[in-house]
């Protein structure tokens, strides 16, 4: 999973050359990770098309949140690039536009349910996929009330998983956000009512 370069923001040609060089430097399959809200750089659909012609570039985690962009990638790349959404709150919609799955945050807490959102869609039951998407929407949103992975790590610790603390500069949320997250976890039955962070 290879994220776009940040700070030294580059052109689309620079992105193409960078990812091509990285792909040529490894024998591993590469999934491009486009998350412009974090890096300030967006891989455009046409650049994805060019990159999809490189054999070892097999997929993308598209986390721009831009449905038009997902549609454009699917239209231009076809079978040459497997699209995964990086936005849990957009799984069903992304699948409808050509994505084939999700690289998920909520899946750390609800792996079966995240699978079921996708599987229902693949089975042709779009209504069930939508129902599940909406059922877990509040939890998905709660996991982004602060910078990822802070909320999901706090949630997993509250659920009894020893995932450790975040490394600096990331730190736990303040008590107000923590209590709000715990309440959502309680509402979904993921922690006992008595659990406190």
Catalytic positions, please? 33, 61
Helix (H, G, I), strand (E, B) or coil at 174: coil
The dihedral region occupied by 87, where left means phi > 0, alpha psi between -120 and 50, and beta the remainder, is beta
Cβ-contact 167, 153 below 8 angstroms: no
Tokens of 25: 């430097």
From residue 184, give the alpha-carbon distance in Å to each of 13, 132, 178. Answer: 44, 16, 10
Helix (H, G, I), strand (E, B) or coil at 57: strand
Cβ-contact 167, 149 below 8 angstroms: no
Beta bridge partner(s), residue 82: 59
Cβ-contact 41, 19 below 8 angstroms: no
Tokens of 98: 């050509």
Among 65, 18, 30, 69, residue whose Cα is nearest residue 46: 69
Tokens of 140: 């998905």
């Amino acid at each position: 999973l290879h994220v776009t370069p940040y700070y030294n923001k580059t052109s689309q040609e620079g992105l193409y050359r960078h990812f091509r060089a990285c792909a040529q430097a490894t024998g591993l399959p590469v999934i491009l990770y486009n998350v412009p809200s974090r890096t300030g750089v967006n891989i455009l659909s046409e650049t994805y098309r060019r990159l999809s012609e490189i054999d070892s570039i097999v997929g993308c985690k598209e986390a721009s949140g831009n449905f038009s962009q997902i549609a454009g990638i699917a239209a231009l790349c076809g079978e040459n690039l497997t699209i995964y959404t990086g936005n849990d709150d957009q799984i069903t919609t992304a699948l409808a536009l050509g994505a084939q799955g999700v690289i998920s945050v909520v899946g750390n807490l609800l792996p079966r349910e995240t699978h079921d959102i996708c599987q229902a869609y693949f089975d042709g039951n779009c209504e069930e996929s939508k129902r599940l998407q909406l059922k877990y929407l509040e939890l998905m949103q709660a996991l982004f009330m602060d910078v990822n992975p802070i909320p999901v790590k706090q949630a997993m610790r509250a659920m009894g998983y020893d995932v450790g603390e975040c490394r600096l500069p990331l730190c736990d949320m303040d008590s107000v956000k923590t209590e709000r997250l715990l309440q959502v976890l309680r509402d979904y039955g993921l922690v006992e009512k008595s659990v406190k962070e």
